[in-house]
Amino acid sequence: MRRLFYLPPTLPESFVVPSQEALLTYYHLEEENTITWLGHSTFLIKLNGKTILTDPFLTSHASPIPGVGPKRFSPPGLPIADLPRIDMLVVSHDHYDHCDARTIAHLPNKSDIQVVVPLRLGKLFRKYGYKKKQIHELDWYETWSHEDITIRALPAYHYSKRHLFTHNTSLWAAFSIHNHQKKLYFSGDTGYGTLFPELGDNFGPFDYALLSIGSYEPPDFMLAGHLSPEQAVQVGIDLRAKTLVAMHWGTLILSDEPPLEPPLRFYHAAQMAQIPYHGIWILNIGETRKL
């Protein structure tokens, strides 16, 4: 596969916000509803003073073995030790680039975090020191609420497999995250299919759709469980999302497309779909924006 021969790309100078600058901006806006991209599918989402961390991967390699496997070519927006207090952790599935053991084991206020995961993934978190009462497993369409925030698991076209003998032993999911002010969709990993217009009709519209745009080449192999940039735009349209937010790119080389191609195709596809400029968010790593 071509990805085996890719060297880490030369990153634009502004692509990664220095971590101290990222931290200062985050806390400057701490009274606001915000979103901060930490790289790949990892976001800090602030809603009404509560902080949600998605698909935690903040270490160097997406692998069960430290120092082995797919390696980050861009640093995380914040190191684990500098994370703010996390209130909720939302994890879409068990793959190492979305559910990193070293990250989840070392979150600073681990004993206070409410963990929302698909069915049968909770035992992994108990292994790393989370108590049963902290863990909330959801089947597709089920919800869990905390104060004014409701999180709903939604179906996705993907699979789970953490080890050789754990194929599809836990569920995978996308999520709707909303309060009385904002509604967000978080895709996790998914392919494209007919369920998205239905999700838009039943659960939309969304203010923001956080959409995977990378890991699509070769298409015959990758698109069963991932979106091309063009498909990601179509998902945003199907969900009737006002703002499309790119994720799952710029961090790891997991497939054969050039590592920095996804946002170019995503932006072009959004323009062709006549989505206004302010409705297309391609964040720098460590960047915080108001919701």
Q: What pLDDT is recorded for position 3? A: 53
* Phi (first) and psi of residue 90, to 5 degrees: -120, 120
Structural domains in the chain, CATH included, are 17-290 (3.60.15.10)
What is the distance between the alpha carbons of residues 40 and 72, in angstroms, rounded to a whole number?
9
User: Quick one: tokens of 13?
Assistant: 């100078």
221's tokens: 């192999």
Tokens standing for residue 288: 């915080």
State the virtual CA torsion across 204, 205, 210, 212 in degrees, nearest 10: 60
61: which DSSP letter?
Answer: B
The pLDDT assigned to 198 comes to 98
Give the list of residues 6+ apart from residue 120 with CB closer than 8 angstroms, or none: 137, 169, 170, 171
**Cβ-Cβ contacts under 8 Å for 103 (sequence gap 6 or more):** 56, 57, 58, 59, 80
pLDDT digits (tens), the chain, 291 positions? 555 456 678 898 899 999 999 999 999 999 999 999 999 999 999 999 999 999 999 999 999 988 889 999 999 999 999 999 999 999 999 999 999 999 999 999 999 999 999 999 999 999 999 999 999 999 999 999 999 999 999 999 999 978 777 788 899 999 999 999 999 999 999 999 999 999 999 999 999 999 999 999 999 989 999 999 999 999 999 999 999 999 999 999 999 999 999 999 999 999 999 999 999 999 999 999 999
What's residue 162's pLDDT?
84
